[in-house]
Structure formats: structure tokens, C-alpha cells
Amino acid sequence: MGCDCRSFETKAVHGNKPYDLVTGAISVPIYQCATFRHEGVGRSTGYDYSRVQNPTREELEKTLAILENGKECLAFTSGMAAISNLFTVFSPGDHIILSEDLYGGTYRVTEEIFNKYGLTSSYVDTSGLSSLIENIRKNTKAIFIETPSNPMMRITDLKAVVAIAKERNILTIVDNTFLSPYFQKPLDLGIDIVVHSGTKYLSGHNDTLSGFVILNDLTLAEKLRNIQKSIGACLPAFDSWLTLRGIKTLAIRLDRQQENAIKIAKWLKNHKNIEQVFYPGLEDHKGHEILKEQASGYGAMISFVVDSEETAKRILERVKIILFAESLGGVETLITYPEQQTHANIPENMRNRVGVTSKLLRISVGIENVDDLINDLKGALED
């Protein structure tokens, strides 16, 4: 069906089906059932068992495919479930290149699980194309990119990576969690596969877990659906409904969050206790111009380095409106200590190489009043 519109905002609100075709309900029903009745032998409604497919999950998958300009989307129980299912398409002896500045969970699943089954990996600064090319091997099958990266906000030139990969028949994968399809559409830039932790901006309210794989290759999509059906990490109906509800307000949330983030980043940059601010919306950010070319926004994630470990811990313990918690992308502003939380599984030497130290903090900016957020940081920083 799909909505007859061009704007992202309208597509996000109306999704694949703006109302239920049977009842007219404008909120997609939650099909909270495990199995479906067959009309007769060899006759199915198209739904047999919710692990294989569920109408609520199907609506979510089709909606996100529309928003990412992809042909197929698969919904999983978390972002890590999506990445894990995707990595099972590779074979023992295959090699993948990953952004060296990346979420600790992606590093953990690669090193502690898939390496045991013969998948080898290299961690590279994908924002530097020469280092990327140097690490490509004959058995390299994929390049996995975070851009902006987590937590150092490095920007990778996606069109340039696509050109390098296409010459060598290498799959390109982008984790688009930080920007969402509202600000960045990697498939339009030639990327093969997009993954999301839908727990973050897509859901937007810190109340559910979800993950997605979006792609245009229908053969690979069918292979992934068979893997998903076999492993069973399929997103339940209620979580699918929550994510659909969140997507309806994605555009207005991100507009407000980005507006707040720009003001907070500029304030942090001028504070005497802040040594560095990493936010791609700042004009002096190394990847600012590249991001302007391949995205329509900068997002609402900020990382910054304070003058000491003691200052970092004081901020974490003294903020009142900003919440000291893991995760990101919700309407509430969260502050995270990457060294001890999101990136604890990454070896210390690798953390130090990319800049994840005891002085680094990461903020996911929410939709609160920005003056309240700045005053909260000011009170935490200053005696």
C-alpha cells in the first residue's frame, strides 16, 4: 500500500499502511499471537507462526524499508541480534574490516563469538581511506562502518568506501543508529546493508529493544530470513508496535535533539574544564564537510574530554536532570562513561588508541529545555 507522499515526516507517520484495512484502526493492531489458523490443507493466510512472520512486525519492517529506501527489512530482538544474524552469512576463513572506533558490543560479538567459528577481523580507522585499503585482504568479504562512530564521532566518506569495495566485490555495511534514516540514508550512497539498534532513535523512548537489517539484495534478504527463522531472534508484536509508535515522531524528536545538541556542544567547547568536544555539527570537526555532503543532519550525540578523571566522575555523580545511564537516542538526555560502560569489553590499548579514556564522557541529548540541560552541566562542573 504505502503512503502517496515524498516527505520523510509524512512517511514516518503513515508508514506502509496508514490504517488497518479490516477495521480502519489508525494504530496498527498488536497481533499478540504465536500461531495462525489455516483455512484448509495447502491454504494459508500468509501467516503461519509468529517466529516466521507476524502482521505487526511485518508492518514495521515495511515501514522502515520505506524510510531507508530499501527493498527488504528484517526486525530482530535487539541491535546486537541484528548484527549477529547478519554475521552468520559469512564462512570460516572470511575476513571483515570494522571501524576501530565502534560500539563495544559489536567488538565483543566479533571477537568472543564469531572468531571461534573462523571469522577473522581487523579494526581500522575507516575515516582514513589509505589505512582501509592497506587492510584489505584476498579473503575480505565485508567492511563494517560506524559513521558517526561511537563514541569519537569519526566520519567515514561512504561514497569513497563504496567505490573501493565495489572494485573488490566486498559487501559494505553501515550501522546507521546514530543518525537514523531521517538524517542519513546509506543505501542511497551505494552501501549494501544498513543495520540499526532500533532501541535508540527509532523507538525513541527507552522502553523497548529492537534491531534491524535493511538491504536491497533480495537473494541475501531471503538467506537472512531463513537464518532469522532458524535462530529465532525475531521481534515480538508488542515491541514492534512500540517501535512503530516511536517512528511516528522520529523527525520532530531529532530536530529538537539536534537543536539542543548544537547549543550544548558550543557551550562545552568554551568551558575551561573541557579539553575537547567531538560533535560533527561543529565547523571545526574533522568530518564536518564530509557529513554535510552525505547526510542532512549532524545528530544529537556528543562526546567530550574533561581535564581529569576526577572531573569526569564529579559530573556523573552530580548531574540531576541529565541521567547517568547507558544507551542513547531517547527523549531523556543521558550521560555515559564509555570506558567503564559501553566500551569496557574493548582492550585498553585499543581504547587508548581511539581516545576512549577515563576523561571521556558521552552525552545523548534529549528533548528537554536546553537551558535546563546546560545549567545542569554547569552545576556539575563548577563548585
314 is an active site residue: no
Q: Do the domain assignments include residue 330?
A: yes
Is residue 373, in this structure, part of any structural domain at all? Answer: yes
Bridge partners, 96 (sequence order): 121, 142
Average pLDDT of the chain, as a whole number: 96
Q: Which three cell numbers mark 53?
A: 512472520
Asked if the structure places residue 18 within a domain, the reply is no
H or E segment at 143? strand 140-146
Task: Answer yes or no: is 121 within a domain.
Answer: no
What average pLDDT does this structure show over 256-262? Answer: 98
Q: Active-site residue 175, yes or no?
A: yes
Q: Is 353 a catalytic residue?
A: no
Q: Which domain holds residue 335?
A: 250-381
Cα-flanking dihedrals φ and ψ of residue 57, to 5°?
-65, -40
- pLDDT tens track for 316-330: 999 999 999 999 999
Read off the pLDDT of residues 147-162 as tens digits, 9 standing for 90 and up.
999 999 999 999 999 9
- Of the pLDDT bands very low, low, confident and very high (cuts 50, 70, 90), residue 2 is low
| For range 112-137, the mean pLDDT | 96
Residue 290 lies in a domain: yes
Between 22-26, 111-115, 252-256, the lowest mean confidence (pLDDT) is in: 22-26
| Whole-angstrom distance, CA of residue 201 vs CA of residue 300 | 10
Instruction: Count the neighbouring beta carbons within 10 Å of the beta carbon of residue 269.
Output: 14
Out of 101, 157, 175, 239, the active site residue is 175
pLDDT at 1: 55
Q: Which residues, including other chains, have CB under 8 Å from residue 328's CB and lie 6 or more apart? A: 178, 200, 201, 301, 334, 336, 362, 364
217 is catalytic: no
Catalytic entry in 57, 94, 103, 337: 103
Residue 193 has pLDDT above 90, yes or no: yes
Number of independent structural domains in the chain: 1
Least confident range of 24-33, 38-47, 302-311? 38-47
**Residue 331: CATH number of its domain:** 3.90.1150.10
